[in-house]
Amino acid sequence: MGKIQDDDNLYFLSKIFVDHHIRRSFKRYHATGRHNIPKPGACIFACNHCNTLMDALVLVNSTRSKKVFIARGDIFRRRFIAKFLRWAKILPIFRMRDGLGSVREKNGDTIEQAIDVMHDEVPLFIFPEATHRTKHSLRQLSKGIFHIVLEANQKYGDEKPVYIVPTGLEYGDYFRFRSTVLVSYGEPINVTEYVKAHSEDQETTIISDLRDILTERMSRLITYIPDDEDYDATWEMTKILAGNPPISLKGRLKRNRRFVDKIVKFKKHKPEEAKSLFAKVLEFTKHRKEQSISVDSVAKRKPLWRTIWKTLMALVGLPFYLAAALVTSPIWITSAFILDNLKDKAFRNTVNYCVELVMHPLIMATGVTLLFCLAPWEIALLGSVFLYYSYVLYFDYNEYIRLLSSDWRWTFNKELRKEFKDLGLMDKEWRV
C-alpha cells in the first residue's frame, strides 16, 4: 500500500468535480491569507469545526494542492468506508470514547503517517476542537495536534521547520444552503523556533503555551464570541448592529469583530446595564423568531418602499422559479425527505450538497439529451444553460421569498418595531 499523500489521478479528477459543486453551494466563497502558508516547511493546519463535512470540503477547495485530513476514528469502523476515506486522503484519530485499545493501538500508526505527510510538505488538516459545533466560538483545543507537531519537530526539525497554520471558517449561515463562506489562513506558528527558544521547559508546558497561542490566533480569524451565558445576546446584537451591507466577506468579518469587541467592552465597563440590555435583547429575539421575522429585516431604513420594490422583482422572477422548481424537483424532494428525518441540524448543508452533487449531473445529462433530440439547437442550448443554473435559481428564489415575507411582517409589526426601538441599538453610542 502506498502513502496516503501519493498522487492519484482519479482523486484529482474527482476533486475538480467536488470543488465545482462546492462553489455552487455558496452565493459567495472566498479564501484569504494564502501568503501566510510557509514555503518551504512542514505544515499542519488547525481549523475551527462548525459545519460538519462541509468544513473539510470547503478547505479542499481553498487551494489547488492536494490535502490530507485527520478525522474521528469511529467513522472508519466499516471496511468499505475506511477504504473510501483513505482514498479521499483522510486519516483516523481515535478518542477515549472509542476505547483505550483503539487509542493505544491505532493512533500511533496515524501519527506516524501524519508526520510523514508533513515531511513531504503536503498540507495536513486537523480540527483540534475534536467535534463540530455551530457557534462563533472555540472549544478547548485537544492535545493531539501538539503531540504530532512536537514529534515531527523532534524527527526532522533540524532538516526543515515545522509549522502550525491557524485557519478560520466564517459562514454566513450554518444551516442554510447557498449562504456564504470565508476561509482565512492566519499567522503561522514556527514550532521549531519556539521549541528551541524554550528548550528548558517541560513538554507539558510547551503544549500548554502552544495551545494558548493557537487558540488566540484562530480566534482572530472568525467572529469570535466568548462562550458564556451572554453568547446568544451578544450574537443577536452583533447581527443587528453589523447588518448585511454589500461589502466583501473579509470586510464583513472585520465589521462583526468590531461590534463584538464593543459589546464585550460594554459588558466589562457597565455590567449592570449590560445585564439588563442582554435580557431585553433575548426577549426581543424570542418574539422575533415566534413571528418568523429574520434578523436581516430588522433596522432597515424605509422598509415599506424597499419591500414593495422587492415584491415587484419577485413577480418578475416567478415564472423562471416555477420552471426551475419543476425540473429540479427530484433534488429538492429528496433533500426535503432526508432533512425531515435529520436529528443534527448541523448536517443540513452537507445533505443539500451531497444530494445536489449526485442528482444535478443526472438531471443535466437527461435534460440536455432530450433537448437536443427534440428541439432546434438554439432552443436546446438556451434550455441547457437554464438547466445548469436551475437549482441555484430555485434555492436563491426561495431564500428571496423567505426574506421578503419577513420584511412584510416586520414592516407592519408596530409592536415589535417599538420593542426594537426601545433597545436603543440604533443610537449613536453603538455606531462604529
Q: Is the pLDDT of residue 105 over 70?
A: no
Mean pLDDT for 358-364 is: 96
d(CA 114, CA 131): 19
| Res. 68 pLDDT band, cuts 50 70 90 | very high
- Cis amide leading into 40 (omega within 30): yes
For residue 104, the model assigns a pLDDT of 60
Q: At what angle do helices 144-156 and 203-219 cross, to 10 degrees?
A: 120
For residue 432, the model assigns a pLDDT of 66
For residue 55, the model assigns a pLDDT of 95
| Res. 245 pLDDT band, cuts 50 70 90 | confident
164 versus 86: the higher-pLDDT residue is 164
For residue 343, the model assigns a pLDDT of 86
Mean pLDDT of the chain: 92
The model's pLDDT over 171-228, given as tens digits with 9 standing for 90+, comes to 999 999 999 999 999 999 999 999 999 989 999 999 999 999 999 999 999 999 999 9
The model's pLDDT over 374-425, given as tens digits with 9 standing for 90+, comes to 999 999 999 999 999 999 999 999 999 999 999 999 999 999 999 999 999 8
The model's pLDDT over 85-99, given as tens digits with 9 standing for 90+, comes to 899 999 988 765 655
Nearest 5°: the CA angle 210, 167, 140 is 50
| Per-domain residue ranges of the chain | 9-219, 231-291, 303-412
Percentage of the chain modeled with pLDDT above 70 = 96
Percentage of the chain modeled with pLDDT above 90 = 77
Cell readout for 234 is 451578544
User: Which CATH code, of 3.30.420.40, 3.40.1130.10, 3.30.70.1140, 3.30.70.1290, is assigned to 9-219?
Assistant: 3.40.1130.10
For residue 65, the model assigns a pLDDT of 85
Q: Is the pLDDT of residue 312 over 80?
A: yes
124: which residues sit within 8 A by CB, 6+ positions away? Answer: 43, 44, 45, 67, 68, 69, 70, 114, 117, 118
Q: Is the pLDDT of residue 302 over 80?
A: no
Q: Going by DSSP bridges, is the β-strand pair 162-171/179-185 parallel, antiparallel, or unpaired?
A: antiparallel
Report pTM: 0.92
Q: Is the pLDDT of residue 102 over 60?
A: no
Least confident of 28-42, 175-189, 275-289, 293-307: 293-307
For residue 99, the model assigns a pLDDT of 54
97 versus 298: the higher-pLDDT residue is 298
